[in-house]
Amino acid sequence: MRRNIDVSGLVDHEGGLLDRAVFTDHSIYAQEMRRVFAPSWLFLAHTDQFKKPGDFFATFMGEDPVLVTLTREKKLKAFLNSCRHRGARVCRADFGQTRNFTCSYHGWSYDLDGKLVSVPNEAGYPESFERDDWGLVEVPHIETYNGLIFGTWNPSPIPLRESLGDMAWYMDAMLDHDDDGTEVVGGIHKWVLDGNWKLAAEQFATDWYHVNMSHASALMVMSPTGKGPRDEIVHRTGRQYVDPNGHGAGFPVHTKNRFDAKTVHDHTDYTALRERLGDARVEGPLTNGHATVFPNFSYLPVNGSIRIWHPKGPDKMEVWAWTIVDKCWPDEVKQAQRLYNLRTFGPSGIFEQDDGENWSECQAIAAGFITNGVALNYQMGLGSEREDGRYPGTTSELYSDAAGRSFYARWRTLMNTPAWHEGDAR
């Protein structure tokens, strides 16, 4: 049964209040799958994962398993990873190289274009049976932006670049250091978290505030003295980009901002980057910072961490995190960035450990009847949103909930808008 809920009362983005039912309610979660995930551009993979025809990668769009393939014509395609016969996954490997995907249940076999190419005992089917009618269900739109592959089930989406808007300017600070772009370190960190996907997505959109407290231990061991960060670190100022489509990015602004990994810093030609990206980006989103592309793709430029928060029910998510590096970097610089990222972020990282603890903590108690009805505060920086003349679009202070408010405003709009697959039904 589909019962659509009017979520207007759950998100007060003007007053900065959020009802905790958005993290716990099963009906709301099911509606998110229909109205937030199905119509939106969702991150699939990095283009560097596809070098030769036959390279494939298995991931999820919302909770739907999909296969991304590079066809013989070197075209990226994506399909629902579910056999059209009885529905099993046609591929149970994480990634690899193949010519066909053969279902291990009855043997229906599909090629890299999703076409059904072989059916055991095909003579047993009626004459009306046409293999062409039974290919894998294709994701209708795939687009890339500077190495990032996105797909959407929306039959008539706004083009990806347009939906990113000014967010693309901020993303380029990580993805477009030179003409060669980025590549991925082999392998993906995957782990589970007992928390709603939005807890992580909103934090990466809007939350520098938690850094000094949540990550106090990490900041301490990373400080030159080992005793704690200097005041100028704690009292940093910066900007937070607030995108009307729910994206967000925050970053300290300082003329001496730099990469944390020493080898990466030493290698970096900041003068060349200033010429290519401009002073505002080098002094801001090039290095320290956080960002979310709505709904569930996030990244950390200083670590080269890109990640997706796969929803797995209202109270669970699965985190998939890649490390990206500049293709032109020498191997020792790439390795230094990889090691810096795995020691700070990723499930054993000295920062990430504490993030996981926070999200599972917020989730664990949110379902209590009284607790659930106690609104959460997103009021920091209320009214601070403005155009500052240096950073594109609307920005707020480094310490602000502005992008979080915008994230939930976008979520509210989508949740209250029937998607294409609903016809006119409400």
Partner 1 sequence: MTTTNHSTVAGGLASLQTHFEVQQFYYREAELLDDGRYADWLTLLADDLDYWMPTRTNRLRRQQALATAARGEAAFYDESKESLAWRIRRFDSGMAWAEDPPSRTRHLVTNVVARHVDPDDNAGFAADDLAVRSAFIVYRNRLEREENIFAGSRDDILRRSDEGFQVARRVILLDQNVLLSKNISTFF
Per CB under 8 A, residues contacting partner 1 are 92-98, 185-194, 214, 216-218, 220-221, 226, 318, 322-323, 335, 338-339, 342-343, 346-348, 350, 352-354, 356-360
* Smallest gap from residue 329 Cβ to partner 1 (A): 13
Q: Are residues 374 and 228 in contact, defined by beta-carbon separation less than 8 angstroms?
A: no
- As a whole number of angstroms, the distance between CA 40 and CA 154 comes to 7
Q: Which CB atom, from 14 or from 332, has the smaller least distance to partner 1?
A: 332
One-letter identity of residue 40: S
Cβ-based neighbours of 372, under 8 Å, separated by 6 or more: 19, 20, 21, 24, 366
Q: Residue 97 belongs to what H/E stretch?
A: strand 95-97
The DSSP 8-state label assigned to residue 8 in this structure reads G
Instruction: Please state the closest distance from residue 217 (CB atom) to partner 1, in A.
Output: 4
Q: Minimal distance in Å, beta carbon 363 to partner 1? A: 10
Long-range contacts from 377-386, C-beta under 8 angstroms, 24+ separation: 377/16, 377/17, 378/13, 378/16, 378/17, 378/18, 378/404, 378/405, 378/408, 379/15, 379/16, 379/17, 380/16, 380/209, 381/240, 382/16, 385/242
CB of 250 to partner 1, least distance (A): 21
Question: Smallest distance, Å, CB 157 to partner 1?
Answer: 30
Nearer to partner 1, 9 or 96 (CB): 96
Cα separation, 141 vs 378, whole angstroms = 35
Closest distance of CB 407 from partner 1, Å: 22
| Cβ closest to partner 1, residue 27 vs residue 358 | 358
CB closer to partner 1 out of 124 and 226 = 226
Distance CA 85, CA 134 (A): 8
**Residue 35 or residue 307: which is nearer to partner 1 going by CB?**
307
CB of 56 or CB of 408, closer to partner 1: 56
